Amino acid sequence: MEQKEINAVFDRIYRRYDIMNHLFSLGIDYRWRAAAAESVVKGKPGRLRILDAGTGTGDMLLSIKRTANRRGVHVELYGIDPNKKMLRIAKEKLARKMILAQLSVGDAQRMPYGNSSFDVVSSAFVLRNIIDLDAFFSEAYRVLKKNGSAVFIDMALPDEKPLRLFFSGYMKIIEYSGRALGRGSYEWLSHSIKHFDKKNLLKVAKKHGFKDIRIKELATGISFMITCRK
């Protein structure tokens, strides 16, 4: 699929996006975001400028803010996403929690921010929906300050064969259910998980200058977190 076609998928599912995340994650996507938020905040100085790339409906920003509050870290939050409808939901969520964040419509492959603008760049369930990962990692590196860090989580089939077989079957069930409901968007999201090469991310991150690159499987094995530093 082309990037504009992928973006159009989210135009169709924006109201159901959070529910679909719960379905694909077996209901524990909030735990994965919490793990990523810990990596975003833990061991950092008392004031952080954070960009959530592909922020969608804002759940990653909410998780970061909760973690920062618990750890006594002041955060200045930014979010960028190409989908206006999803950003509208994010604004509503953040407003209900009285959380300030600067949200912008834009492309994470061409970020509208200056060089060395942020202490951390995060993303949740974005990488497999980006066609040009080279552009994304290049931009993430550019907007990070020196020694700034990147924390990305996403989904791909687990390495262990039993879990891989289980989730392959689970994805098919979701695809068939989506077809029955006339919602082909489920097929794309399932396809993107089944065919995403998470190990390639290590090569792409290294190519664009990142160091201390690590990848870690999260609970259930279908999700992973990649961390790296400028």
Q: How does residue 72 score in pLDDT terms, banded at 50, 70 and 90?
A: very high
Mean pLDDT for 36-61 is 93
More confident residue, 62 or 28: 62
Reported pTM: 0.89
Tens of pLDDT, residue by residue over 172-224, are 776 666 555 445 566 777 788 888 999 999 999 999 999 999 999 997 888 99
CA nearest to 189, candidates 155, 153, 215:
155
Q: pLDDT at position 177, please?
A: 61
- CATH number at 208 reads 3.40.50.150
Instruction: Determine the angle formed by the axes of helices 17-24 and 185-194, rounding to 10 degrees.
Output: 40
Please state the domain count of the chain.
1
Residue 88 in this model has a pLDDT that exceeds 60:
yes
What is the average pLDDT value for the chain, to the nearest integer? 88
CA nearest to 230, candidates 120, 155, 92, 125:
120
Residue 146 in this model has a pLDDT that exceeds 70:
yes
Q: How does residue 22 score in pLDDT terms, banded at 50, 70 and 90?
A: low
Q: In 160-207, at which residue ranges do the beta strands (DSSP E only) sit?
A: none
Q: Which domain holds residue 135?
A: 3-229
Mean pLDDT for 71-87 is 95
